Structure formats: C-alpha cells, structure tokens
Structure 1
C-alpha cells in the first residue's frame, strides 16, 4: 500500500505536517509526505487558466494522488477555513479532474494550538470530500496540539487520542 500524506498548510513549522507525518507511520505502508511549498502556483482564476492553461505543478500534484492507494491530510485552519495555499492547489487540480481524489480511501485530520483543534475546517473537508470522489474512512481533530503531542518524540502523548488516531489509520488497511 502506498499512502500519500500532506498537511494542508505551507507553514515550514506546520504542526499539521508533524501530525500527518506521525500518523502515516502508524500503518504498514510506503509513505510519501508532500510539502505544499513545492506546488506553489499563481492564484487560480478562469482568466489565467484560459490564457496559460493548467500549471504543470497542478498536474504533478494530481499524478501524486493518482499513484497513491490512500490519502491522509491534516488541515490547518485559517479564519475557520482552508489555508490559501491548500485552496489554491485544490482549485487548480480540480480543473484537471473534478473528482480529483479518484475514489481513494482517506483519513482527514486537523489540529491547532487551541482547544478547537481546527474542527471547523475539518468538518468542511469531511462534508465536501465525497463531491470530489474522496472516500473518507475516518476523521479526527487533535485539540491543543502542544498539550497532546510530544514534539521532541514526534508522537501523540494523550493515550485516548493515540488510540483514536490508531483506529482511524487502521481504516486504511481494512
């Protein structure tokens, strides 16, 4: 099994990248973690698409999804929604294929430093993924990241959250 993971953030110190990296280690699989900074493109607009077509980086991102057996995404929340970095990539890739997740099984995660755990963006992602052919098997919000994740050890430190995360990740191997 090949799992594609990424944080829906372009922050170089992303706690969501730490979470998705750790999460993908919980199952037996070949894992590739993407960095959204490697897929930076002009802001999507219909005019830009007509003038220049879809950027090669959008195709490269789509190809990564195509070559994966499962997808794990951890969403950062900016003002209650997706980060602009993720949304722009998503907008461009969806121009290649509206069903961009291609029926792949997915685990959707989110975290934040505060007690909300980026639940708003996670709820939106879970609700919308089926419209883009995402087969969401599980989702989990990790609240208060620095209280529940041991950054030095690189793992969840809260036993109940650890079990919930393991259970979520196990849905990809069923």
Structure 2
C-alpha cells in the first residue's frame, strides 16, 4: 500500500471533476499518485442479470484491486440534479458486488466541482454517505464552485482563498495517510 489512487466519478471525456483531481494529484508530495480516468472504464449498467451472465469485468476487478492496495483515495464526484452521476453510483454498485466493504480502512479526500455557485454540494453530501456505507472515511471534503471562473487548467485554482482552503485540505489528507 504505497500509493494514492485518484479518480473522478465521471465517465465524461471532458470532465471538470477529472481536471480537478488531476490538479490535486500534482500537489501531493512524497507519495506516488496513480491517476485513473474512469471515462476509459466502460462499466455496463449494473443488474443481477448482467452479473450472472458476464461476471465481473477485468477492468472492474483491476480497479477494485487498485482501491484495495492504495493507502488513500482522492475522489471528485460530478453532480447531476443535486446527486452524484448515475455512472458514479453504478461504479459503486459494481464494486460493492465484489466486496461490500471495498473502501474499508481507506482515508479519502472527497471533492466536487460544478459550473454553478453551489459547487456540487448535493453530490458531495450524498457521496459522503455512500462512502461511509462502504466503510471508507472521508477525512477532508472540498467543493469548488463556479469552475469556469475559479479554475485554469494550467494554473489550477485561481481564486486565492479557494486555493488556500484546497491546499490545507490536501495537506490534512496527506497527513492522515502518513
């Protein structure tokens, strides 16, 4: 368990939450960070029939193993109508079929961003409850509102106050896994 696993709960190839995770990963010093783009993981919609007929895909088993072998997780969830996306929920459903405690003993930095002023707070709240259900511990939570105004793909978080809050939460997360 020598790395941090970082991913966004989105299957969009232009995910702003993935961009936030990617930026956050660059701030982790002294730890290996494995960044995963879930838009490259084609998990089908979960159903008992699909599980019975096809079992677990290799990519799902590999992703589950990466979670299990990590020392901590950085996750950013996207929001659809005040909830995490169906893709994020679907991924959690599949993982829970392999092991209902797939986040056990994992320290998690949970984040979200959106184009609106609430910064995907609704998705954050729901995702935090989901993570607890699967035995994970959210040690820090961060919301970035108004992504298009507050984030630059080269510079990162450009609002000084938000950048300071984010950096403090990243530092607290790193301390929790050290």
Q: TM-score range by the shorter chain?
A: over 0.9
Q: Does 1:41 align with 2:49?
A: no
Partner of 1:79: 81
Asked whether the equivalents of residues 24 and 169 of structure 1 are also in contact (C-alpha less than 8 Å), the reply is: no
| Of 72, 78, 81, the match for 1:70 | 72
Q: Does 1:8 align with 2:9?
A: yes
Asked whether the equivalents of residues 11 and 40 of structure 2 are also in contact (C-alpha less than 8 Å), the reply is: no
Q: Does 1:92 align with 2:94?
A: yes
**How far apart, CA to CA, are the structure 2 residues paired with 1:39 and 1:18?**
17
Q: TM-score, normalised by structure 1?
A: 0.93
Q: Deviations over 1:86-138 (max 9, x none)?
A: 22221111100111112111000000011111110001111221221111100
Q: How does 1:24-173 map to 2 (within 5 A)?
A: 24-28=25-29, 29-151=31-153, 153-173=154-174
Asked whether the equivalents of residues 36 and 86 of structure 1 are also in contact (C-alpha less than 8 Å), the reply is: no
Deviation, structure 1 residue 72: 0.5
| Structure 2: gaps of 5 or more residues | none
Q: Does 1:21 align with 2:22?
A: yes
Asked whether the equivalents of residues 7 and 36 of structure 1 are also in contact (C-alpha less than 8 Å), the reply is: yes
Asked whether the equivalents of residues 6 and 73 of structure 2 are also in contact (C-alpha less than 8 Å), the reply is: yes
Q: TM-score, normalised by structure 2?
A: 0.91
Asked whether the equivalents of residues 5 and 70 of structure 2 are also in contact (C-alpha less than 8 Å), the reply is: yes
Asked whether the equivalents of residues 44 and 92 of structure 1 are also in contact (C-alpha less than 8 Å), the reply is: yes
